[in-house]
Structure 1
Amino acid sequence: MPSDEFWSNFGSAGLLQAMDDALAALPQPANRIAVALSGGADSAMLAVHAAILARRNKLTLHFFHVHHGLQAAAAQWQGHVHDLAHWLRVPCHSRMVRVGLSTGAGMESAARDARYEALRSMAAQTGVAHILLAHHRNDQAETVMLRLLRGSGPTGLAAMASTMKREGLTYLRPWLDVDRAVILEQADQFFSFSDWAPVDDPSNANDKYTRAAVRERLVPVLNERWPGWQGIVLRHARQSAETQQVLDEVAAQDFAGLSPADDSRSFSLAGWRLLSAARQALVLRYWLALHGVRMPTDARLQDIMRQLRGLHAMGHDRQMRVKHGPVWIRCVQGRVLLDAAVAAPACLPAENSNDEKR
């Protein structure tokens, strides 16, 4: 169990301040929060610092762990996470998910969708509306590079937002401006207090996965040749985020003219056709983002737009049905609709507390 010395002396003032600032920036105070805890160094240190913050500010804190079942050691990681939660005296909840590729997405995307569904389920169980994620400065730089390589466009370079809404939940990323070296230093210090060490997921270094390939192959070269590249990339990301905000305002105005106020799942095809090509693309991206659907590549977006334009030329009696990730984009009687394509990823029963797991 943590000693008084731990609660008094452990923790990075900078990391704690970043978390405090993120919570203070919310429109309404959050008295009940959760941390998505995988067991790696990043999420573990986020969990530890959240426990310190919760103790100081009298917040109700939960840990959420998602068991993907993709690694042989996943069950051991689950137990290890619950050990940390037990040591910190914080309730920990688990969901085991089955990651399927039936939506046509890759393994990384399918696992991410399953993870968010599991987090949503645990949040509903515990009454939590705000979940903290452990993405940091290095993750953000990698994300910008990935989106650049995928052709996501200038607004896609805005990368991860510090606050994100998804299915009624608010996700906070308080450490996006924190270098990972700071987090790893805290993990080393934490071991001296607790004898608890983070797990090491081998998939993070397996370059058959896209993000791992960027991390293992591209980042070392960039670090050697352009040591300040992350700061430059993140500056572009911030500028892109500002541009995105302006374009979102334009897209929201255009979309409001195409869709009834009480039905954001559809919009008028005829009205959309009156917009310029650039604003047509803005509206489609805005519409998909509004419903938490991942952004299409530029080629995919152009294909969807081509089909919508061609459909209009054929008349409103013609129908269209295009698959995009876990949803269908459809057109019926002159309205473009968004429908779920598959059921949510299956979640197995939860381990509701540290004691049950142990």
Structure 2
Amino acid sequence: MAVSRKFVLELQHVAQSGQWQADPVLLRALSQSLQPWLKQALEQDRKLAVALSGGADSAMLAVHAHTWAQQHGVGLHYFHIHHGLQGAADGWQQHVHALAQHLRRPCHSLRVHVDSTRFRADGMESAARQARYAGLATLAQQCQISTVLLAHHQDDQAETVLMRLLRGAGPDGLGAMQTVVQRQGLTFWRPWLSVARHHILQAADDFARCTGWLAVQDPTNINPDYTRGAVRDRLTPILDERWPGWQGVLARQARLSQEHSRILQEVAAQDWKGLEPDEQDGFSLAAWRLLSHERQALVLRYWLQRQGLAMPTEARLRDLMRQLRGLHALGHDRHLNVKHGDVSIMCRRGRVFLQTAQASSS
């Protein structure tokens, strides 16, 4: 997909002539979402970036963020990640840069290596996602930018809820994607989680009609070999026919789950304070046993989360709780040593604590 100078000049002429206007609904959603960021940025460098793949969603976020940035005096960059997985990817990169030239915004590209052997569950999908976030972090560091906008929308959110529900996720998982999340030293902002994709596609059609710039089509988005592609290719048509508007319903479920999760976190944090924690994040077995079974499980997950450890499966958590309940309150009858990843959960003299696997075996 070669990009000619004439094409770029034509795009710029359309922009200057006012033939295309930003969609007011999308622009309003963007402005409302980013208002908290704008207040925080008053004391910092007022610049951010958009992750721009070249698809309709990210392209419309790029052009609407451009308008918003002009209105608020904010510096805006575009970040493009080249995964190297498709033959057309080189053309997508050129196409993205053509859009950036049209908007007179700097665009930075980075090619990343995708290693699917490290991920068992989703394989290539998970590997590409991890490589993409790592690449965005690299570009952000080079440009000294701390906030990156992502173009996830309501339909993406609904699909995520559905996939996590089928995997048996709890309240945290069903909360799906957060509007704001910290990852790899960056703040990622998803301003369009409440916006239906059909609205974004309409804006993309209007933009294409006025400028001639067409969003790229990634065939993996509807490839049933991938989990999300299977949802879009096989489940979405049935759901659309039988339950119109299901995306909004599941997006609402995500918001309710996020609220539920925050309440549970507050309960767990309060219970944690009552477990007489020490400086090493050990806690009192006797105090833990005074809690209800449900809150015992909740505070154990909170404890492991504080250490940055993976959550145990439901079966492993039940087994750990059974062993903790079976101990003498002061740990006199026997010692506990349960391996969890690279650490061991241990109990000595009535105190439950974590120890590295190497230290516990010595």
TM-score by length of 1: 0.79
- Residue in 2 aligned with 1:242? 259
Q: CA deviation at 1:336?
A: 3.4
Q: CA deviation at 1:279?
A: 3.1
In structure 2, the CA distance between the partners of 1:204 and 1:281, relative to structure 1 (3 Å rule), is farther
2:111 and 2:173 map into 1 onto residues whose CA distance is 31
In structure 2, the CA distance between the partners of 1:5 and 1:286, relative to structure 1 (3 Å rule), is farther
2:304 and 2:107 map into 1 onto residues whose CA distance is 33
- Aligned CA RMSD, in angstroms, stands at 3.2
SS of the aligned residue for 1:25 comes to: helix
In structure 2, the CA distance between the partners of 1:315 and 1:15, relative to structure 1 (3 Å rule), is same
Q: CA deviation at 1:280?
A: 4.5
The correspondence of residues 103-252 of structure 1 with structure 2, limited to 5 A, is 103-107=119-123, 108-252=125-269
Q: Is 1:306 aligned to residue 319 of structure 2?
A: yes
Whether the aligned pair in 1 keeps the contact of 2:150 and 2:188 (CA below 8 Å) is: yes
Q: CA deviation at 1:236?
A: 2.3
Residue type matched to 1:79 in 2? Answer: Q
Moved more, 39-48 or 188-197: 188-197
Residue type matched to 1:300 in 2? Answer: T
Match of 1:268 among 278, 282, 306: 282
- Residue in 2 aligned with 1:18? 29
In structure 2, the CA distance between the partners of 1:331 and 1:146, relative to structure 1 (3 Å rule), is same
Q: Is 1:96 aligned to residue 107 of structure 2?
A: no
Moved more, 53-62 or 225-234: 225-234
1:249 and 1:7 map into 2 onto residues whose CA distance is 51
In structure 2, the CA distance between the partners of 1:72 and 1:279, relative to structure 1 (3 Å rule), is farther
Unpaired runs of at least 5, structure 1: 323-327, 340-358
2:308 and 2:60 map into 1 onto residues whose CA distance is 28
SS of the aligned residue for 1:131 comes to: strand
2:266 and 2:208 map into 1 onto residues whose CA distance is 47
Residue type matched to 2:335 in 1? Answer: G
Q: CA deviation at 1:253?
A: 3.1
TM-score by length of 2: 0.78
Larger relative contact order, structure 1 or 2 (CA cutoff 8 Å, min sep 6): 1
SS of the aligned residue for 1:33 comes to: strand
C-alpha distance after superposition, 1:11-66 (max 9, x if no partner) = 11111111111111236126111111111110111011111111221111111111
In structure 2, the CA distance between the partners of 1:288 and 1:45, relative to structure 1 (3 Å rule), is farther
- Residue in 2 aligned with 1:320? 339
SS of the aligned residue for 2:76 comes to: strand
Q: Is 1:76 aligned to residue 91 of structure 2?
A: yes
2:303 and 2:277 map into 1 onto residues whose CA distance is 13
2:178 and 2:318 map into 1 onto residues whose CA distance is 27
1:194 and 1:292 map into 2 onto residues whose CA distance is 48
Q: CA deviation at 1:301?
A: 4.2
1:16 and 1:223 map into 2 onto residues whose CA distance is 27
Residue type matched to 1:252 in 2? Answer: A
SS of the aligned residue for 2:229 comes to: helix
- Residue in 1 aligned with 2:40? 28
- Residue in 1 aligned with 2:74? 59
Residue type matched to 1:320 in 2? Answer: K
Whether the aligned pair in 2 keeps the contact of 1:166 and 1:292 (CA below 8 Å) is: no
Instruction: Say how many residue pairs are matched.
Output: 327
The correspondence of residues 286-305 of structure 1 with structure 2, limited to 5 A, is 286=302, 300-303=313-316
Q: CA deviation at 1:247?
A: 0.8
Residue type matched to 1:229 in 2? Answer: W
Q: CA deviation at 1:315?
A: 2.5
